[in-house]
A = this chain, B = another copy of it.
C-alpha cells in the first residue's frame, strides 16, 4: 500500500524555463533507463520474493518507492522548465498580441520555434511531461526485467543503475542552471548508492554464479571463439583463468575448423577445467534441492494470503 506526501524528496528548483532541457530530461522520465523503468522493475521483481526472501523484498520495495519519488522529482522539474507554455496555450483567443513568453524574448515565431523542440509539449500535453523518452517514444513495459530469480534480477538492477547514472552524467553537460544541476547531482548519486545496495544483496546469496540453478557444461564454459578475424587481441577474457569459475580459457583460433572436426562441437572434450559431467550433475541437483525448498517451503498451496493485519 502506497502513501504520498506532497513534498518532494529533494528540493527541486529551476532558475528559469528551458523547454529544450525539458525535452532532454524526458529521457529520465519516460525513457528506457529512467526513473519509471527503475521503479517498475524493482516493484515487479519484488512480488516473487515477498514470501521466500523477505529481506530482499524489503530492499526492493525501499528502492522502488524511492524511484517513484525520483520520478516525481523529474516530472516536477520538467513541469517547471516548461513554465509559461500552459498559460500561453490557455490564451487561446489572443493571437494578435505580442506573446511574452519563455524568459521574455519570444514572439510568435519564437513560440513556434520552441514547439519544434518537442511538438507534443505544444500540441498534446499542454506544457507538461509526457510518458515518453526524449524523442517522444512512449515508455514500454519491455524495459522492465524481472525473471523470478534474485541472482539474475539483482544483476539486472546493477546494470540498470549503471545506465541511469551515465544518462544523468550526460544530461549535466546540457544545462547551466545551478538548481537543475543540483537536482541532477542528487539523482545521479542515488543511482551510485542503489548500485552498491544491490551488489551487497547479491553477495549475500551464495553461490550466486552461474546465475540461476544450473551449472554449465565444462566442454563449452571456458572456450573463446575467435569469430571476428583481423586486428585480434588477447586479454584476460581469452587467456589465463576465467573470473568466476577459475577455469583456463581455451582460445579457439579457427572456430570453423573446430566445428567441422568435432561433429558440430558435440564431440569436443573438456579442457582446462576440473569439472566433469558428473560433478555438474551433482551440483545441479544439490542447488535445485536448496532453491526449490526455499521457495516451496515458504508458500502454502491453498488459502494463500498476502498480508497479515495487525489489528485483525
A259 partner, pick from B9, B17, B64, B303, beta carbons under 8 A: B9
Tell me if B83 and A214 are in contact (CB < 8 A).
no
Q: Which of A5-19 contact B (CB under 8 A)?
A: 5-17
| Assembly stoichiometry (copies) | 6
Tell me if B142 and A143 are in contact (CB < 8 A).
yes
Bound complex: CA of A155 vs CA of B154, how far in Å? Answer: 12
Tell me if A129 and B13 are in contact (CB < 8 A).
no
Contact string, A50-91, partner B, CB cutoff 8 A, digits 1/0?
100011011101111110110010011111100110111111
Q: Which of A123-173 contact B (CB under 8 A)?
A: 123-149, 151-152, 155-156, 158-160, 162-163, 165-167, 169-173
Q: Which of A222-237 contact B (CB under 8 A)?
A: 222-233, 235-237
Inter-chain contacts of A148 with B (CB < 8 A): 86, 89, 125-128
Tell me if B123 and A195 are in contact (CB < 8 A).
no
Tell me if B65 and A306 are in contact (CB < 8 A).
no
Among A134, A188, A196, A300: residue with most chain B CB under 10 A = A196
Inter-chain contacts of A55 with B (CB < 8 A): 233, 235
The residue of chain B having its C-beta at the shortest distance from the C-beta of A291 within the complex is B90
The residue of chain B having its C-beta at the shortest distance from the C-beta of A185 within the complex is B217
A219 → chain B closest CB, angstroms: 8
- Say if the beta carbon of A276 comes within 8 Å of chain B: no
A228 partner, pick from B12, B58, B198, beta carbons under 8 A: B58
Beyond the given pairs A7-B230, A57-B231, A90-B294, 17 more chain A to chain B contacts, judged by CB atoms under 8 angstroms and listed by A's residue number, are A4-B65, A6-B230, A11-B309, A14-B303, A33-B147, A47-B128, A83-B301, A94-B292, A95-B172, A119-B134, A126-B170, A158-B158, A186-B265, A188-B214, A189-B217, A195-B210, A260-B310
Task: Write 19 A-B pairs (CB below 8 A) sorted by A numbering.
Answer: A3-B5, A5-B228, A9-B264, A47-B129, A50-B76, A58-B232, A80-B304, A91-B289, A92-B172, A120-B133, A126-B149, A128-B146, A136-B136, A189-B219, A193-B221, A195-B210, A198-B237, A260-B310, A261-B311
Q: Nearest 5 pairs between A and B by C-beta?
A: A126-B148, A11-B264, A135-B136, A138-B141, A131-B141
